[in-house]
Chains A and B, each alone.
Chain A
Amino acid sequence: MSELHRLGLTELAAGLRARRFSSVELTRAFLARIERHQGALNAFISVTSEQALQDAAAADRALAAGTGGALTGVPLAHKDIFCTQGVRTTCGSRMLDNFVSPYDATVVARLRAAGAIMLGKTNMDEFAMGSSNETSYYGAVKNPWNPALVPGGSSGGSAAAVAARLAPAATATDTGGSIRQPAALCGVTGMKPTYGRVSRYGMVAFASSLDQGGVITASAADAALVLREMAGFDPKDSTSVDEPVPDYVGELGRPLTGLRVGLLKEFFDKGLDAEVEQRIREALAIYEQLGAQLTEVSLPHLPLSVPVYYVVAPAECSSNLARFDGVRFGHRCENPKDLQDLYRRSRGEGFGAEVKRRIMTGTYVLSAGYYDAYYLKAQRVRALINQDFISAFKSVDVLIGPTTPTPAFALGAKTADPITMYLNDIYTIGANLAGLPAASVPCGFVGGLPVGLQVVGPHFSEARVLGTAHAFQQRTDWHTRLPGGFA
């Protein structure tokens, strides 16, 4: 059973139910892969082997008794932004290096209730602020396709873990592209649902009007299976939406005949790498063969999404991260001389460079005299961008384009200039500002590195977005390719 990691999550769940292999065997196989590759990839912050094997044994008993759920016995990993009861939850920060969560995030609790086994907690940019995983207190994650390159971020550990098949699926979060961008750079499938679709309870807050939990998997079908269990109303999250969860798996097979696909003019801009554009055009040709109708649409305000984001997200982050005060939990400095000193040094030492930069940007744009000029102005431009999306979805069913302007870049290449790093998310931020569901799927290679195709749909159209991605994956095998050394 040394080939189990090559099976997708859907096949693994079916194999477990058919008792072709046990959850303990499967869990051991993935734990062994984690142990073998962790040194090279640094995809995990914590590995919870003992608990995983106990839970797997319990899953095997449930499977034998025929009482299993949709994911019973299937191992997966959680991004270390999700609180896990009794297990260290660091959010990639020194601030939470010693934090053991007293409760489970709703996402964690739901996946456990569905029978999933937690392998461990994946590495990430500190407080999810980064596009390369280089801001993690625990060191950068390496891209499995080339260890000299970044895996993307902030869910870089989750993307690298799935790309190297150290886990068949990993939870992730997306505030400005943090699921889709690393999924694209690592050659895996990433699904960011509609804002409010997945509970944010127990998910460490970064920018509350943008944050949304989702999943990274090998295929859209696997993402549908996990999302069906993760999604749904949660009274513990005041922004959770009380809408029924469709059967994402059952709706995958819908034909694309007549699907109106919008090509976003602003996505094919001068910043888009020519070879990446080539892969995207090839993918669009496949959609035409599948019966979709392509039309070009324009969202004139979309190019402003990065500056809007870098007002709204830091503003919300400066407010959310005010809770880290060195008093109730988290890092505390040595020998504080008074309360102000305790706050200032605990925060100064506990937060890394990028987090401090964003807290200060947010503090500035919210401060007296600047609030109208920056924060309210950004919220007004956000409304214009949102309006552009609403108008576009009157004439098209989905928007398709690139996820990122280029394939994975070198570690260290963009750390000196924050703006260069921020511009990496130019194609992904729009969906967060408008709260839209969006996926990234592998659509080929440039210079041996994976390229991601992005599918964006209207609010609560996860089934359509996943179906659009799934149809492509039925015709192509890019999502089945494994990086050398991980086959």
Chain B
Amino acid sequence: MSLTREQLASIAALARLELTAGEAPVYQQSLSSILDFIGALEAVDTANVKPMAHPLPGLSQRLRADEVTETDHHELYQENAPQVAAGLYLVPKVIE
């Protein structure tokens, strides 16, 4: 199949990715060929096959007691933040 420019723009918007004018046609072409490639799965008979989400079937998600195990490290973690003030992460104004 071949993706239209509009379809690519909508995928990029969902993925929150800004694409440059130069990138768009390259992705339009390569994503189309990837979709063709994975399209091969369509022909496989998978009637009554349960989808496999975990490579070790039978193992269930482990639970732990609801106890406090972490201490406050926000100052350390915020050393990696692009912009902080008064212990808060700063972003452009969201609410007018």
Q: At the interface, yes or no: B87 with Cβ under 8 Å from chain A? A: no
Q: Which residue of A lies closest to B54 (CB)?
A: A209
Query: Knowing A327-B81, A364-B35, A384-B46 touch, does A357 contact B40 (C-beta < 8 A)?
Result: no
> Is residue A226 within 8 Å, beta carbon to beta carbon, of the partner chain?
no
A303 to chain B, nearest CB (A): 9
Q: How far is the CA of A417 from the CA of B32 in the complex (A)?
A: 12
Interchain CB contact under 8 A, B17 and A338: no
Question: Assuming A384-B44, A434-B55, is B34 touching A100 (CB within 8 A)?
Answer: no
Knowing A100-B80, A342-B91, A377-B42 are in contact, say whether A361-B55 is a contact too (CB < 8 A): no
Q: Which of A210, A363, A384 contacts B14 (CB 8 A)?
A: A363
* A196-B92 in contact (CB<8A): no
Cα A174 to Cα B76 in complex, Å, equals 30
Which residue of B11, B52, B61 contacts A380 across the interface (Cβ within 8 Å)? B52
For the complex, count residues of B whose C-beta is within 8 A of A.
Answer: 52
B59 partner residues in chain A, CB cutoff 8 A: 196, 241
Contact (A459, B56) CB under 8 Å given A338-B92, A419-B37: yes
B21 within 8 A of A: no
Task: Verify A342–B17 contact, CB threshold 8 A.
Answer: no
Interface pair B17/A344, CB less than 8 Å apart: yes
Task: List residues of chain B with CB within 8 A of the CB of A69.
Answer: none
* A195-B55, A307-B38, A360-B11 as given contacts; A332 in contact with B46, CB under 8 Å: no
Write the A186-207 contact mask toward B (1 if CB under 8 angstroms, else 0).
Answer: 0000000011100000000000
Selected contact of A339 from candidates B15, B17, B27, B94, CB within 8 Å:
B94
B4: interface (CB < 8 Å): no
A-B pairs with beta carbons under 8 A, tally: 173
Which residues of the partner chain B approach A417 to less than 8 Å between Cβ atoms? 30, 33
Q: A102-B73, A359-B17, A435-B55 are in contact. Are A311 and B41 (CB under 8 A)?
A: yes
Looking at the complex, which of A32-40, A105-113, A163-171, A347-355 is the stretch in contact with chain B? A347-355
Instruction: Say yes or no: B16 contacts A209, CB within 8 Å.
Output: no
- Given A347-B17, A435-B56, CB of A361 within 8 Å of CB of B31: yes
The reply to whether A380 and B50 form a contact with Cβ atoms under 8 Å apart is yes
Minimum C-beta distance from A231 to chain B (A): 15
Query: Are B16 and A383 touching (Cβ within 8 A)?
Result: no
Residues in A whose Cβ lies below 8 Å from that of B56 = 194-196, 241, 435, 459
Are A348 and B17 closer than 8 Å at their CB atoms? yes
Select from chain B the residue with minimum beta-carbon distance to A336.
Answer: B92
Residues of B within 8 A of A98 (CB): 80
Q: B83 at interface (Cβ–Cβ under 8 A)?
A: yes
List the B residue with the shortest CB-CB distance to A345: B18
Which of B33, B42, B51, B93 has the most CB atoms of chain A within a 10 A radius of its CB? B51
CB pair A102–B40 under 8 Å, yes or no, is no
A363 touches B11 (CB 8 A): yes
Q: A102-B80, A367-B11 are in contact. Are A379 and B52 (CB under 8 A)?
A: yes
Q: Are A379 and B41 closer than 8 Å at their CB atoms?
A: no
- A99 close to chain B: CB less than 8 A: yes
Docked-complex contact A307 and B41, CB < 8 angstroms? yes
Q: Of B19, B76, B89, which is within 8 A of A327 by CB?
A: B89
Considering the chains assembled together, what is the distance between the CA atoms of A195 and B33 in angstroms? Answer: 30
A347–B76 CA distance with the chains assembled, in angstroms: 24
Q: Which of B20, B40, B52, B81 contacts A382 (CB 8 A)?
A: B52
Rounded to whole angstroms, the CA-CA distance of A456 and B79 in the bound complex is 43
Q: Beta-carbon contacts of B53-84 to A below 8 Å, as 1s and 0s?
A: 11111010110100000000100110111110
CA distance A238 to B76 in the complex (A): 24
Q: A210-B55, A417-B30 are in contact. List 17 more A-B contacts (CB 8 A).
A: A209-B54, A327-B89, A330-B80, A331-B82, A338-B92, A345-B18, A347-B17, A353-B23, A357-B31, A359-B17, A360-B8, A360-B15, A360-B17, A361-B35, A377-B42, A382-B51, A418-B30
Query: 7 A-B contacts, Cβ less than 8 Å apart?
Result: A196-B55, A307-B38, A327-B89, A341-B92, A342-B91, A343-B16, A379-B52
9 tightest Cβ-Cβ pairs between the two chains A and B: A435-B55, A348-B18, A379-B51, A332-B82, A380-B46, A329-B80, A383-B52, A344-B18, A343-B16
